[in-house]
Structure 1
């Protein structure tokens, strides 16, 4: 018998002063049985940093053809394609070719460092690709705060983010390795 996804509900309040974006989002996230809390929270961070009314979570690990998140326009064209981790060159090529902009979010760790060293020169040739890392200790802190129902308040300003989850506050600065 196959394991089912675990459903998480997140009430997210975003104040993004860098983009003048202020909104409330009610997110329902299905965490695939093979996905851990740290990866799920990286998806939430990717949503926070790119939040819009049209950014959506896809089926993710359940649907290998789709990215983790995407933003489509009214004509079903893909404006933004977001992948997590260390995607293959073929996956990056697909995302860059199908979307106006592609982003890769990953936790900064030894596996990412090896991937980045190997792929950096090829990735730097992609004009519509951004690569962003988050300190792995932030992922550990976030995964310790995961609950099936969460309230997250986030303020973004000058490239930094301040998250409040319950009574815990976390400050983070994403590391932009490559920006379109």
Structure 2
């Protein structure tokens, strides 16, 4: 019998002073049995960094046809495609053909190896932005995980604070590649 996804309920308050975005989001996140707490929290962080009223979670790990997060307009055109982790370079190229903008948020220690192997090919994609979250930051985010969370995210001058009433994690996301 196949294992089922674990459901997490997250009330996320975002104060992004860099973008002038302030909103509350009630998120229901299905964590695939093979997904780690680190990856799930990286998805939550990606949601906070690119939050908009029309940003939604894709099917993620269960399919290569959808990203972890995306924004689509009313016609179905993909405005923003966000993948978390170290996706295959061919999938990133495909995403760049489908979307106006593509973001890859890498994390952890293996991301450096992935970037070294794919950098030359990815540098040529003008629609692509690559961000990196250090291993210790994503591990600290994973320590916050509970089935029901009330999180606050503040972004100011490129610094990010994400946490709840008992603990807050200060993060810095590195930009490995900017949009052209």
Q: TM-score, normalised by structure 2?
A: 0.97
**Superposition map of 1:68-147 within 5 A:** 68-109=68-109, 111-147=110-146
| Greater displacement, 82-91 / 10-19 | 82-91
Structure 1 position 29 matched with structure 2 position 35: no
How many residues are aligned here?
179
Structure 2 counterpart of 1:175: 174
Matches of 1:30 and 1:41, distance apart in 2: 12
**Post-superposition offset of 1:135:** 1.1
**Post-superposition offset of 1:149:** 0.3
Structure 2 counterpart of 1:149: 148
Question: Which residues of structure 1 form unaligned runs of 5+?
Answer: none
Structure 1 segments of 4 or more deviating over 4 A? none
Structure 2 counterpart of 1:159: 158
| 2:72–2:79 contact (8 Å) kept in structure 1 | yes
| 1:38–1:139 contact (8 Å) kept in structure 2 | yes
**Post-superposition offset of 1:143:** 1.0
Q: TM-score, normalised by structure 1?
A: 0.97
| Greater displacement, 62-71 / 125-134 | 62-71
